[in-house]
Structure 1
């Protein structure tokens, strides 16, 4: 299988991933819980999330990620959010979020064209299954993965079956006193 990344004949938005991952490759527990992240002594460490959020135009996530974020209490995003879902609608949201979140049943390819038509250039792709589908579609340009020093043993993987190799270039590796390591990769173009 050949992947096309940022092809010149298809000027489209660029996809960017920023996620924390356990050392054994999980982004959440099977129930989408992120409680394991709260165990990390990372106070005062700047992993660049605010700068990253300032650089993006829109977030795309799945229903699992949405349900997890809704459990945080306060909505953490000021940017538009598109949730890929076959089952949820705005009626499932609290009233104060119904104008801040939209749902889509489009494929990654269809959504990418829609985002391009709406003028969204930098897309934050979030959530295990969504990240996997957008990588497979060839829409992820770069990834910042924070490796968290914990072994979960089971959960939701950030990467699944690809159907072929996806080559990456390591841009930087930054260790932190907490034991976390930020790995910045660009996805190689075919």
Structure 2
């Protein structure tokens, strides 16, 4: 159902699985000791991993999610010619609500890979998965209130594909001892079709 591998001009997305990822390498990037991890996870829904077992459980859960058809998670690697080519730069994915015909995108990147426009590039590829391969009707994306970096990236590609800002979701995301507000954006399939650049087609494997 979901492609195992997605290639764009500058990125390679591989299914997050034990086959594609060394658990200890991935733990090193997600752990409490990873460089800049507090900045990376400040506005995310997960906390840094404290043990390799947490990473194993997370990867296993993502594999199970994919097998059930509920969503797909990918590690993000810069392609050949990019600074850091072949390294794990972060992860991205889409969760599917089949009853609502909607996919929800998510992404995180290590700090050294911020500011390269990778968010918009992988979003363009995932729109193609959601609308062409899965035949869904809406893509949604959210960012927590205060996450200005994600806001700028999301607004840029949502505007590019003709989508809109839907509004503020109050008390939407539990986070430790508080519940944070979240901002929601959506793109409909018809909007994407009118605004996509057909010369920028990702390849799937």
Could you state the TM-score of these two structures normalised by the residue count of structure 2?
A: 0.31
Q: Which has the higher contact order (CA 8 A, sep 6+)?
A: 1
